[in-house]
Structure 1
Amino acid sequence: MSLEQILVLFIFAGTIFSLAFTNKRPSSIFAACMLLLLLTQQISFEAILKNVTNTGLVTLVLLLLVSHSIDKTAFIKRLGRAIVRKSFKQSFWRMFAVTFSSSALLNNTAIVASLIGPIKQNQLHAPSRLLIPLSYAAILGGTVTLVGTSTNLIVDSFLIEHGHPGFNFFDFTIFGLSAGLLCAVLLFLLSPLLPNIASNENSYQSYLLEADVEADSELIGKTVEQNHLRNLPELFLIEIVRRNVVISPVTPDMLIEENDKLIFSGNVKKMDNIAHIKGLTMFAEADGLLRDNLTEVIISNRAPIINKTLKEVGFRALFDAAVVAIRRDGEQISGKLGELKLQAGDFLLLATGADFQGRDNINKNFFVVSEQKITRKLQPWQEIFTLLGFVSTIVLAASSLLPLATGLLFFIASLALINVSSISEVKRNLPLNLILVIVGALSLATALEESGIILLATKGISPIIGDMPPVVALIAVYVMTLLLTEFVTNNAAAALMFPFAYGIVQAMSLPLTPFALAVAFAASASFISPYGYQTNLLVFSATNYRFKDFVKMGVPISILYSSVVITMLAWFYL
């Protein structure tokens, strides 16, 4: 073994060790890996740049950027509010169906992030009984199509790099759908084993928000429960003001009427979930000031507006601002925002006009604390364009009429033109950490191949695999990838294992497709560890799960999933 091969092998082993046994971010580990490879001249700068422009990586980044725009629509939020029912069985299957189908086309991490809130807030079932199934449903749904998970796109890019035409859009579907549905049944049967534990304490400061029920509201004539108003993420309906009478507490069977004022308490960053309800208008929305940014202020102890209501001081005209929400530390407040008497130390979230900063009375009344970023509500035609545009892009790609990356690029440009997203949002949402992980993994894989380590390893195991049945080789590749993905990220596992799978295929003169699919499916099959997959980590941090909760549920799911995938791949291809 040459010095160059020893260096690459040392960097490879160090990367695996760091990913598995340190708390460093995977992006930092792979960035260091690339720098070491570059410093020791085991990979060229041109090769790294080539990996940056990898088609699979570009497609993945574009998909993630599009998913942020999709998340602005009411589609996912309406589904999230409608998931939980009194029956656990109905709640489970609604949640699984929504998550599984959405994750087949959209980024599964974004889907889970959107649905965690409604599930955590539901008052019918312990969130811990639904959050692990939520993560598993997203993982399983992501394996159904080429774009369902980043892992599939990474393996696809490796195929193209090795002269293979790559996967078709539905090459994963029959395997992923079969394994996913069978695992869904097993997951439901195992649901009594799910823990019944309380959620983590909320880390946000609760503000009081007010929303008016307009004449055309979809809420009118239906109960609080039918409108899913008790399933809004991190927002709680605490009061209804009806004909100047405060109704509290709000019961699930209470009917919503026209002109009701709904008083919510919770996280103002989640108020876009209210804004997406048809015919429900925020207190500041009527003034035309509600934009992307809110200014947080504290009322000064010498402010002239103390002990006066917003109506009495003519707040909108006086400050060129409208109050979106109020918070008062140490005291619970209730009632209509416009009729609350302001006190020194009150926190106000303000939607401000262009003249707000220039007013000379601002410093006399407020201490400006910070700005809060909120999601802007889309117009109905913008929502329709966003959803239909995305579906059309996917259909064109699935029909091989337009490359997926090209379609997504033009779709993102069109979203910017119609003001659904902006250039600043695109830059802010660019997944730099994920790009570093994937480029680093691709670069390490390139170094392993170019240094001859893959060839050396293949020659070393040739006597062992010479008489090995193809199905045994397939199982070996799958199991090694599966074990690796429980310790490192799914994308890293796929990128690191593909070169070895390719070497085995070359040595045994076997078809490449089943082994590439095995790597993709195994890299996504992180059910046992809460740290191996992003969706597992999201739900793990959302409530007080323990490691053994994932082991107890994940082991049987992993065994069934793996058995189905390996059996079907061997039957179809070997």
Structure 2
Amino acid sequence: MSLDAYLTLLIFALTVIGLIVLQSRPVAVFGGTLIALIGCNLVTKTQLLTSIANPGLVTLILLVLCSLALEKTRLLRIIASKIIVNNYHSTWLRLFGITTLFSSILNNTAVVATLLSPIRNNPHHFASRLLLPLSYASILGGTLTLIGTSTNLIVNSMYIEASGRSLSFFSFTAVGAVLVLTCGVVMFFCTRFLPDIAQEKASSAGYFIDAKVLEGSELVGRSVEVNGLRHLESLFLVEVVRQGRLISPVAPTEVIQVNDRLIFCGEVTKLLQLGQFSGLEIFAEKNGSLDSNLTEVVVRQESIITGQTLKNIGFRALFDAAVVAIRRDGEQVSGKLGEVIIRAGDFLVLAVGEDYRTRTNISKNFLVLSGVEPESRINGWRAWLSIGGFISIIGLAAIGAVDLLEGLVLLLGSLLFTKCLTANELLRRFPIDIWLVVSSAILLSNALVNSGVVELLGEGIKQFNDLSYVFMALVLVYVVTWLMTELVTNNAAAALMFPIGYSVALGFGVDVLPFVMTVAFAASGSFISPYGYQTNLMVFNAGNYRLADFVKVGLPVSLVYGAVVLFMVPIVFPF
């Protein structure tokens, strides 16, 4: 092998190792891969530019941006209100059907985020018996169409780059439909393994709120009972932090002193009650309007604030927002809010400033769940334009009447012109992480070809030309991709395994589509790990699940999912 081949293989191996070791920072790993490929002169300038402007990748970016307008309408919220009924099985079937349907044409993270609140607050059923099926249904729904999940579009981007052809809108539908039916049945019978975990009545219940007693406050020198701190609606004084000492439980006779930190637990929506006490300052009160600009978010696994305290990270300067409250599943947070070490999956309520919406780092660090400022909602004819325009473009592209990329360009222009979306919103929600990951993966594929690694792999495989070996190779590609999905992330797994699957197919001299589709489906098959897929992480915390809950339900679903993919793909896409 040449020096370039050794260098390319080294970069590929280091990328895989980096993704496993630095699971929370895939963008940094792929950024390093990009720099290494260019620095070692393993790719050309033309290949760099074409990878950045890959038609499939641009289509993915446009789809994400156009769907933002749909998220701002009341469509999903109206539908969500119709899902929950008295009968559990009827509710489950409605939830599964609606989630799979909308996840086939919309970003499934947005679908799950919209349905989280009504499920958590429903009066009829334990949320823990519905949230895990919600996540799994969104994953399965994403396998139905080309645009159902970013994984499919990433694979299509790389397929376009390698072959010059694109997968059709319904390329995934035949296999995806069987997956929805079979895995749906397995999920339905596995509901007996779902735990019954009581939820707070409101989505903000159980939040940890930090308030400081200022000098001159009317509270100073009087007991908790006398101050009326034990008679607040849905807020409970659970701790007092005094000069580094924690007082818990708080006795009714405890006398309040200057600089005491009063730690309340309860509903964030009730925090304005604290305004009745003079000289009691909420942690976030100096930044943001507490009565109108509250936003609930979940900390992403790759967020730069994980493992840091709010005080040390400089939260306000980074995001133009202050943390009002924090909630962590299955665990009571203790101590001063500014000194709490933030973990992935923590729920935060933010009081946001004027520049919050223009910050480009919000979507990289948080999943925004609710409480978006009122002016960001769209109603009336703009809502109809957003919904009708999106559905029309997707429908016309599905039947081949218009090119999806061109249609999305026209739709995005219309949404901007009519102010359904703003330039600041597009800048803030622009999926730069997906762009970098896919561009780097395409470049890595080009480097594997340029250096002769693909050719060498093909030559080595040619000696195994029996059909049974081809199927064994397909199984191996599926298993490795699936393992990477559970260990790393779905998008990174698809991006890394595509060139391997494609090269293996060329080496056997068979059609590449079976291997391409296997990589796509395997990369979406994250059912066991709560960290392999964003929707899993969201419901993991919201439902107060344990890892064992994912294994009990996810393992049977994962096994059936894999069996269906390996059985159906060779039938729908013959070798």
Give the TM-score normalised by structure 1: 0.70
The match for 1:51 is 51
Alignment of 1:295-314 (within 5 A): none
Structure 1 position 328 matched with structure 2 position 272? yes
RMSD of the TM alignment (CA)? 2.8
CA distance in 1, matches of 2:57, 2:15: 21
CA distance in 2, matches of 1:199, 1:43: 53
The match for 2:567 is 567
Query: Does the 8 Å CA contact 2:151/2:494 hold for their aligned counterparts?
Result: yes
Could you say if the C-alpha distance between residues 199 and 431 of structure 1 is closer, same or farther in structure 2, counting changes exceeding 3 Å? Answer: farther
1:526 shift after superposition: 1.2
Query: Does the 8 Å CA contact 2:143/2:173 hold for their aligned counterparts?
Result: yes
Could you say if the C-alpha distance between residues 408 and 345 of structure 1 is closer, same or farther in structure 2, counting changes exceeding 3 Å? Answer: same
The match for 1:260 is none
Query: Does the 8 Å CA contact 1:180/1:561 hold for their aligned counterparts?
Result: no
1:184 shift after superposition: 0.9
CA distance in 1, matches of 2:34, 2:434: 14
Q: What are the Cα deviations for residues 361-392 of structure 1, in whole angstroms up to 9, with x where unaligned?
A: xxxxxxx9945761433232111111111111
Could you say if the C-alpha distance between residues 65 and 199 of structure 1 is closer, same or farther in structure 2, counting changes exceeding 3 Å? Answer: farther
Could you say if the C-alpha distance between residues 48 and 128 of structure 1 is closer, same or farther in structure 2, counting changes exceeding 3 Å? Answer: farther
CA distance in 1, matches of 2:65, 2:571: 37
Secondary structure, aligned partner of 1:486: helix
Could you say if the C-alpha distance between residues 41 and 541 of structure 1 is closer, same or farther in structure 2, counting changes exceeding 3 Å? Answer: farther
1:349 shift after superposition: 4.6
The match for 1:457 is 457
The match for 2:345 is none
CA distance in 2, matches of 1:36, 1:74: 46
CA distance in 2, matches of 1:430, 1:123: 37
Gaps of 5+ in 1: 207-263, 267-324, 332-340, 353-367
Could you say if the C-alpha distance between residues 342 and 439 of structure 1 is closer, same or farther in structure 2, counting changes exceeding 3 Å? Answer: same
What letter is aligned with 1:542?
A
CA distance in 2, matches of 1:23, 1:173: 31
CA distance in 1, matches of 2:541, 2:7: 38
CA distance in 1, matches of 2:413, 2:87: 44
Alignment of 1:506-525 (within 5 A): 506-525=506-525
Query: Does the 8 Å CA contact 1:445/1:495 hold for their aligned counterparts?
Result: no
CA distance in 2, matches of 1:15, 1:469: 28
Structure 1 position 413 matched with structure 2 position 413? yes
Secondary structure, aligned partner of 2:468: coil
What letter is aligned with 1:86?
N
The match for 2:86 is 86
1:157 shift after superposition: 2.0
1:183 shift after superposition: 0.8
Q: What are the Cα deviations for residues 168-187 of structure 1, in whole angstroms up to 9, with x where unaligned?
A: 11111111011112211110
CA distance in 1, matches of 2:383, 2:169: 25
Q: What are the Cα deviations for residues 83-122 of structure 1, in whole angstroms up to 9, with x where unaligned?
A: 2222221221111111100001011111112212222222
Alignment of 1:372-521 (within 5 A): 374-376=373-375, 377-466=377-466, 468-521=468-521
Could you say if the C-alpha distance between residues 203 and 436 of structure 1 is closer, same or farther in structure 2, counting changes exceeding 3 Å? Answer: farther
The match for 2:166 is 166
Q: What are the Cα deviations for residues 247-271 of structure 1, in whole angstroms up to 9, with x where unaligned?
A: xxxxxxxxxxxxxxxxx999xxxxx
The match for 1:528 is 528
Query: Does the 8 Å CA contact 2:81/2:118 hold for their aligned counterparts?
Result: yes
Q: Which moved more, 1:80-89 or 1:185-194?
A: 80-89
Query: Does the 8 Å CA contact 2:56/2:160 hold for their aligned counterparts?
Result: no
Could you say if the C-alpha distance between residues 148 and 204 of structure 1 is closer, same or farther in structure 2, counting changes exceeding 3 Å? Answer: farther
Q: What are the Cα deviations for residues 104-158 of structure 1, in whole angstroms up to 9, with x where unaligned?
A: 1011111112212222222332222211111110110001011101111122222
1:48 shift after superposition: 2.5
Number of residue pairs matched by the alignment: 435
What letter is aligned with 1:36?
A
1:81 shift after superposition: 2.2
What letter is aligned with 1:43?
V
Query: Does the 8 Å CA contact 2:272/2:291 hold for their aligned counterparts?
Result: no
Query: Does the 8 Å CA contact 1:154/1:491 hold for their aligned counterparts?
Result: yes
Secondary structure, aligned partner of 2:487: coil
Could you say if the C-alpha distance between residues 102 and 369 of structure 1 is closer, same or farther in structure 2, counting changes exceeding 3 Å? Answer: closer
Identity rate of aligned residues, in percent?
A: 40
Give the TM-score normalised by structure 2: 0.70
CA distance in 2, matches of 1:17, 1:130: 36
What letter is aligned with 1:539?
V
1:70 shift after superposition: 0.4
